[in-house]
Amino acid sequence: MKDSLCYQCKKNKAGKPSHTVTLSYQMMEVNVFNIGGLCYTCLETDWIEEFKQNAEEFITAVGGKVKVDWQGYNKHFAMGRFHDQKERFHSILTDLGILSPEAQGNWEIVADGPIGINPRASLSYLYFVRKEDAVEFARLEKARTLYHWEIHHIDEVISKQEVIETNNKVVE
């Protein structure tokens, strides 16, 4: 089997498809999902360009820890910025481990109903990985709402398949 070349630069060997690649940028660890076809250099270059265009003004690394300016985020996107830019920003936050599509072990803001009011990426729901980000986001984004809301930490998630496989046994 012949190794394929990167479809962008056409020089380097393309990365493995459906594989997470870890990059480092401005003392931040970045986990980027490579769908395949790009070499490491092009994947890194593209991610950095996306970061500069969509997130650089909101994200810094302080002592190796990623810091999000949620107040700047709130003002920026409240001014009617493009939805696709917000989606790219959420994708960058996911790559940096600030947001996650996984519920277990993460945080969510829940309003009466219960209705989740975390950021969304297209049709998927995103959870805060760090408590301090959930608190700051809620304080800035939801403090003036008239409805009740609270922040939950999700300790355990049981999938539909796990429930079905229990065959009416008590789940411990």
- Pairs from 30-37 (Cβ < 8 Å, separation ≥ 24): 30/95, 30/96, 31/95, 31/97, 32/95, 37/4, 37/6, 37/7, 37/8
Q: Where are the alpha helices (DSSP H) in 55-128?
A: 70-78, 83-95
Across the range 64-77, mean pLDDT stands at 85
Distance CA 106, CA 144 (A): 24
pLDDT of residue 1: 42
Which stretch of DSSP H or E encloses residue 110? strand 107-111
Highest mean pLDDT among 12-16, 53-57, 81-85: 53-57
What is the dihedral angle through the alpha carbons of 18, 164, 125, 93, rounded to the nearest 10 degrees? Answer: -40
State mean pLDDT over 16-38. Answer: 87
pLDDT recorded at residue 43: 92
pLDDT digits (tens, 9 = 90+) for 82-135: 677 888 888 999 999 999 999 999 999 888 877 777 777 566 789 999 999 999
The predicted model gives 25-38 an average pLDDT of 88
pLDDT for the residue numbered 143 = 74
User: What tokens appear for 74 in the block?
Assistant: 């709130």
> How many Å is the Cα radius of gyration of the chain?
19
Q: What is the DSSP letter of 144?
A: T
Band (pLDDT 50/70/90 cuts) for residue 171 is low
Decide which of 169 and 33 is more confident: 33
pLDDT at residue 147, as a whole number: 81
φ and ψ at 30, to 5 degrees?
-125, 130
Q: Specify the pTM.
A: 0.82
For the ranges 16-20, 48-52, 74-78, 112-116, the one whose mean pLDDT is highest: 48-52
Of 9-18, 69-78, 84-93, 98-107, minimum mean pLDDT range: 69-78
Q: Which residue has the higher pLDDT, 64 or 104?
A: 104
